[in-house]
């Protein structure tokens, strides 16, 4: 699906509360086995949960974020 998003001039990001180190280890040791190489999009660390809080997916009690998918237009508005 990523190539289809790029044709639409869209950016794809992955965001989680995990550290950059954890993202790298997961990509290098788990994800690369599933997809046969590095992921083609950026993985962002949200260790303080600020991004998750702003989108309503951060759980204060557990310090985790639930899964969410958002389409954000060039003006910064959530669509869909």
Report the pLDDT value the prediction gives residue 41, as an integer from 0 to 100: 81
Q: How many CA atoms lie within 13 A of 32 on its CB side?
A: 9
Res 49: pLDDT? 95
18-73 pLDDT, tens per residue? 998 988 888 787 776 766 666 778 889 999 999 999 999 999 999 999 988 888 88
Give mean pLDDT, residues 6-25: 87
The reported pLDDT for the residue numbered 80 is 60
Burial of 65 (0-12, 13-18, 19+ CB in 10 A): buried
Q: Where are the alpha helices (DSSP H) in the chain?
A: 2-7, 20-26, 32-35, 50-54
For residue 59, CA distances in Å to 2, 31, 69 come to 28, 25, 16
Domain boundaries, the chain: 1-48
């Amino acid at each position: 699906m990523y190539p289809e998003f790029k044709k639409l001039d869209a950016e794809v990001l992955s965001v989680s509360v995990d550290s950059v180190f954890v993202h790298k280890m997961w990509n290098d040791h788990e994800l690369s086995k599933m997809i046969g190489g590095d992921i083609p999009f950026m993985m962002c660390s949200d260790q303080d949960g600020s991004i998750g809080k702003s989108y309503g997916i951060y759980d204060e009690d557990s310090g985790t974020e639930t899964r969410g998918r958002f389409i954000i237009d060039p003006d910064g508005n959530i669509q869909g």
